[in-house]
Amino acid sequence: MTSVKITDLVKDYTLRSGLKRTRLRAVDHVSLELTPGRTVALVGESGSGKSTIAKILTRMERPTSGTVEVRLDDGTPVPNGHYRREVQMVFQDPFASLNPFHSIEHHIARPLKIHGRTQSQEDTRARVLEMLERVNLTPAEAIAPRRPHELSGGQRQRVAIARALAPGAQVLIADEPVSMLDVSIRLGVLNLLGRLQREDQLAVLYITHDLATARHFSDEIVVLYRGRVVERGPSDAVILDPHHDYTKLLALAAPDPERPGRVTSEAAVDRKAIDNSTCYDHFAGEWREAAAGAKAAVSAD
């Protein structure tokens, strides 16, 4: 089993407009941990830095500063050559993440071969069918030769999940994996991810802007606003007792099925007044400086 520890992660981008250059800080001193068998939900609106963190974790981007430690059971760092085998990502768009020219079997067989998980064509074929059955794509023999366009959106996302787990990944980065799926099938995909996590004791980072699915699927919620963590804690605590104004704003936008046409809170939140310099930590029960991670506490209101 594999764990991930992110400490004071910073990512800056340089923006150019003619001869003028400005710096955009997409991620500002973010710290969090992913442990086997647990799901951490990273919640925030578009542009808050969620996907940037995912790209850094999967080494598609390099951090400006900070550390990402990925360690095995015995505490040893994951070797660079095995990093992509241990950490895999499920992308948001199942329509774009699969190559339309290749069969479903090809998509799952490729990581098996690249990471040396199988030794022969027969072994690879058997493993592909096994992975399809694990994600509830049956009969696997009928699904394997199909092309992505022959499957529904939910089926394509299940293929993407099978592909991510094929090399034996122990850390799964799920970047809004159900946001582009029909509402009727989202729960099925989340339940599938939950079952696979329990079976393989996966460490999961679930990225979303949806508080409802975050509460359903995660053990811990980390709220990100303008690159900084502004609230963190157990899922129920963050959803049912939000402290930061931005978390309250997210809750305000969430529909309440018991009160059609109304939101979960009657209190209005002034977006212009939202401050991301402090973070409420439900685990410690106190306010902290957002950009200082878990270092210094500040006085509560």
Q: What is the mean pLDDT of residues 169-190?
A: 91
Cα angle: 158, vertex 47, 268; to 5 degrees: 105
CATH of the domain at 106: 3.40.50.300
Residue 57, amino acid: L
Q: Residue 254's pLDDT is what?
A: 67
Question: How many structural domains compose the chain?
Answer: 1
Least confident of 94-108, 123-137, 202-216, 260-274: 260-274
Q: Residue 182's pLDDT is what?
A: 87
Order of strands, sheet of 278-281, starting from the edge strand that comes earlier in the sequence: 87-90, 171-175, 203-208, 39-43, 220-225, 228-234, 278-281, 286-289, 297-298
For residue range 37-63, what is the model confidence (pLDDT) as tens digits? 999 999 999 889 999 999 999 999 999
Higher-confidence position of 233 and 95: 233
How far from 214 is each of 63, 174, 177, 251, CA to CA, in Å?
26, 12, 12, 12
- 72 has pLDDT over 70: yes
* Domain ranges, residue 204: 3-298
**b/e per residue 155-174 (b: at least 16 CB within 10 A):** bbbbbbbbbbbbbebbbbbb
Band of residue 291 on the pLDDT scale cut at 50, 70, 90: confident
- 172 has pLDDT over 60: yes
Half-sphere exposure of 293 (CA within 13 A, CB side): 16
- 5 has pLDDT over 90: yes
Average pLDDT, the chain: 89
For residue range 219-240, what is the model confidence (pLDDT) as tens digits? 999 999 999 999 999 999 999 9
- DSSP single-letter state for residue 255: B
CB 161 within 8 A of CB 133: no
